[in-house]
Amino acid sequence: MKKRIFATAIMSLCAVILFAQQQQKVATNYSDEDNQTFVRANLDITKVQQEAEKEVTKIIEDNGLKVDRFNDIVAIQQGKSDEEASPEELKSFNAAAQKIMTTNQQTQMKMVAKME
């Protein structure tokens, strides 16, 4: 299992390095129309992200947690905190996390659609 995680980490690192190298080869001579299209898409994507952030906050709160406590539990789950979460908090956290994952997938699809 540890070897699989390590291999996945190495592959991810390689992907990041390749992505960075590709980014260095990006053209810089864009037309005004290209620039305007980019700005519009960026504004649209920003709106989608802001809506998603509000929705995620609502999901967390609807499951009986504050955003700060949700983030604390994320840190606990990642082993970055010595705090503990109660069984009730973990139940709320898990329910919210499942809904948030669905929301994130929907948000990604919306953002891709705005770029097309």
Q: What confidence score (pLDDT) does residue 62 get?
A: 97
- Extents of the domains making up the chain: 37-116
Instruction: Concatenate the DSSP letters of all residues of 65-80 into one string.
Output: --HHHHHHHHHHHTT-
Q: CA dist 67 to 64, 80, 97, 112, Å?
A: 10, 17, 12, 27
What is the arithmetic mean of pLDDT over 65-79? 92
pTM: 0.67
Q: What confidence score (pLDDT) does residue 11 get?
A: 55
Better-scored residue on pLDDT, 101 or 28: 101
Better-scored residue on pLDDT, 32 or 62: 62
Tally DSSP H helices, then E strands, for the chain: 4, 0
CB neighbour list of residue 41: distance below 8 Å, 6 or more residues apart? 114, 115
Instruction: Scan for tokens 């996390």, then name that residue.
Output: 97
**Is the Cβ–Cβ distance between 100 and 54 less than 8 Å?**
no
| Position 64 pLDDT exceeds 90 | yes
What is the arithmetic mean of pLDDT over 50-56? 93
Q: What confidence score (pLDDT) does residue 100 get?
A: 93
22-51 per-position pLDDT tens digit? 555 666 788 888 888 888 888 888 998 999
Q: Maximum CA pair distance of the chain?
A: 57
Q: What confidence score (pLDDT) does residue 17 get?
A: 58
